[in-house]
Amino acid sequence: MDVYINSTGHYLPGDAVGNESIEDILGLIHGKKSRLKNKILKSNGIVQRHYAINEQQETKISNSDMAATAGIDCINNSYLSPAKIQMLSCATSQGDMILPGFGSMVQAALNLSEIELHTSHGICSSSMMALKVAVNNIKCEDSDNALVVASELTSRLFKHSRYEQLDSNEVDFNAEFLRWMLSDGAGAILLENRPRAMATSIKIDWITSFSHANVLPVCMSVGRAKNEEDKTWQDYQSYADAEKAGALMLRQDVRLLEHIVAIGVQGFLKLIAQGKIIPSKIDHVLCHFSSKYFKSKIFDMLDTASISIPESKWYTNLYQRGNTGCAAIFIMLDEFIKTHDLKAGETIFCMVPESGRFNCAYMHLTVAG
In this structure, what are the phi and psi dihedrals at residue 292, rounded to the nearest 5 degrees?
-55, -35
**25-29, 169-173, 206-210, 314-318 — which is least confidently predicted?**
169-173
Structural Rg of the chain based on CA atoms: 20
pLDDT value at residue 161: 95
Q: What is the topology classification, in CATH, of domain 4-192?
A: Peroxisomal Thiolase; Chain A, domain 1 (3.40.47)
pLDDT digits (tens, 9 = 90+) for 319-349: 999 999 999 999 999 999 999 999 999 999 9
pLDDT value at residue 235: 97
pLDDT value at residue 188: 98
CB atoms within 10 A of CB 273: 9
Going from the C-alpha of 350 to that of each of 104, 144, 285, the distances in angstroms are 28, 24, 6
- The whole-angstrom separation of Cα 314 and Cα 329 is 13
When pLDDT is averaged across residues 239-260 and rounded to a whole number, the result is: 94
When pLDDT is averaged across residues 182-203 and rounded to a whole number, the result is: 95
* 183, 155 contact by CB (below 8 A): yes
Confidence of residue 136 (pLDDT cuts 50, 70, 90): very high
pLDDT above 90 for 167? no
pLDDT above 90 for 276? yes
pLDDT digits (tens, 9 = 90+) for 286-313: 999 989 988 888 888 888 888 889 999 9
DSSP three-state, residue 272: helix
pLDDT above 80 for 2? yes
For residue 204, the surrounding DSSP H or E stretch is: strand 202-211
pLDDT value at residue 280: 94
Q: HSE of 353 in the Cβ direction (CA atoms, 13 Å)?
A: 23
- CB contact burial 298-317 (16+ within 10 A = b; e otherwise): beebbeeeeeebeeeebbbb
Going from the C-alpha of 14 to that of each of 4, 66, 158, the distances in angstroms are 31, 11, 17
Question: Which of 296, 274, 276 has the alpha carbon at shortest distance from 350?
Answer: 276
The domain spans of the chain are 4-192
pLDDT value at residue 151: 98
pLDDT value at residue 299: 87
pLDDT digits (tens, 9 = 90+) for 137-165: 999 999 999 999 999 999 999 999 999 99
Confidence of residue 121 (pLDDT cuts 50, 70, 90): very high
- CB contact burial 77-109 (16+ within 10 A = b; e otherwise): bbebebeebbbbbbbbbbbbeeeebbbbbbbeb
pLDDT above 90 for 80? yes
Q: What is the DSSP string of 309-355?
A: --GGGEE--HHHH-B-GGGHHHHHHHHHHHHS---TT-EEEEEEEET
Going from the C-alpha of 243 to that of each of 35, 167, 227, 349, 356, the distances in angstroms are 23, 9, 15, 41, 21
pLDDT above 90 for 230? no
Q: Which residues pair with 65 in a beta bridge?
A: none
pLDDT above 80 for 169? no
When pLDDT is averaged across residues 268-290 and rounded to a whole number, the result is: 95
* 291, 43 contact by CB (below 8 A): yes
Q: What is the DSSP string of 21-64?
A: GHHHHH--BTTB--SSHHHHHHHH---EE--SB-TT--BSS-HH
pLDDT value at residue 183: 98
pLDDT value at residue 170: 79
pLDDT digits (tens, 9 = 90+) for 253-263: 999 998 999 99
Question: Which of 71, 7, 52, 87 has the alpha carbon at shortest distance from 183?
Answer: 52
pLDDT value at residue 333: 98
Residues 6 or more apart whose CB falls under 8 angstroms from that of 154 comprise: 93, 94, 178, 182, 183, 184, 250, 325
pLDDT value at residue 302: 86
